[in-house]
Amino acid sequence: MATSEGGGDGAGAAELGELLGGAAGTGDAGAGGGGDAGIGDGGAGGGSEPALGADPDWWGTLSGDAEGENASHRDWVKATGVKDVNGLVKIARDNQTALRDSGRVKVPGEGASAEDVAAFHRAIGVPETVEGYTLPEVKDAAGNVIPLDQGLLGKLLSKALGHGVPAAAMNGVIADFVQLQMDDAAQFDNDLKAAAQEWVKGQGSASTAKQAAISTAARTLGLSSTELIAVRNALAANAIDQGGKAGDGVAKALNLFARIGEGMAEDTIITGGSNRFAVTGSEAQGQLDAMKVQAGKDPAFAKAVGTPGTPENARWTRLQDQAANWKVQNSLAG
Residue 109 to residue 112: CA distance in whole angstroms: 6
Phi, psi of 223 (to 5 degrees): -95, 135
H or E segment to which residue 138 belongs: strand 138-139
Residue 242 to residue 235: CA distance in whole angstroms: 10
Residue 39 to residue 31: CA distance in whole angstroms: 10
| Contact status, residue 45 vs residue 84, Cβ threshold 8 Å | yes
CA 109 to the chain's CA centroid:
34
Q: Could you tell me which residues are beta bridge partners of residue 107?
A: none
- Beta-carbon contacts of 241 under 8 Å, excluding residues fewer than 6 positions away, are none
pTM, to two decimals: 0.46
Angle, vertex CA 268, rays to CA 262 and CA 272, nearest 5: 160
The per-residue pLDDT for 25 is: 42
- Beta-carbon contacts of 175 under 8 Å, excluding residues fewer than 6 positions away, are 136
H or E segment to which residue 146 belongs: strand 145-146
User: Inter-axis angle of helices 311-333 and 246-271, to 10 degrees?
Assistant: 90
Model confidence at 334: pLDDT above 70:
no
Task: Report the pLDDT averaged over residues 29-53.
Answer: 42
Give residue 276's pLDDT band: very low, low, confident or very high (50, 70, 90).
very low
The per-residue pLDDT for 238 is: 93
Give residue 333's pLDDT band: very low, low, confident or very high (50, 70, 90).
low
- Measured CA to CA in angstroms, residue 304 lies from 167, 259, 282, 307 at distances of 71, 20, 24, 5
Per-domain residue ranges for the chain?
Answer: 2-49+57-101, 122-185, 186-333
User: Inter-axis angle of helices 311-333 and 281-297, to 10 degrees?
Assistant: 140
User: Model confidence over 281-304: pLDDT tens digits?
Assistant: 777 788 888 889 889 999 998 998
- Judged by DSSP in three states, 155 sits in helix
The per-residue pLDDT for 239 is: 92
Beta pairing class for 138-139 and 145-146: antiparallel
Lowest mean pLDDT among 13-17, 33-37, 103-107, 271-275: 13-17
Question: What whole-number percentage of the chain has pLDDT above 90?
Answer: 9
User: Inter-axis angle of helices 225-241 and 167-202, to 10 degrees?
Assistant: 100
User: Model confidence over 313-327: pLDDT tens digits?
Assistant: 888 888 888 788 777
Query: How confident is the prediction for the chain on average, in pLDDT?
Result: 74
Residue 75 to residue 65: CA distance in whole angstroms: 9
Question: What whole-number percentage of the chain has pLDDT above 70?
Answer: 72
Dihedral of CA atoms 297, 298, 304, 305 in degrees, nearest 10, equals -10
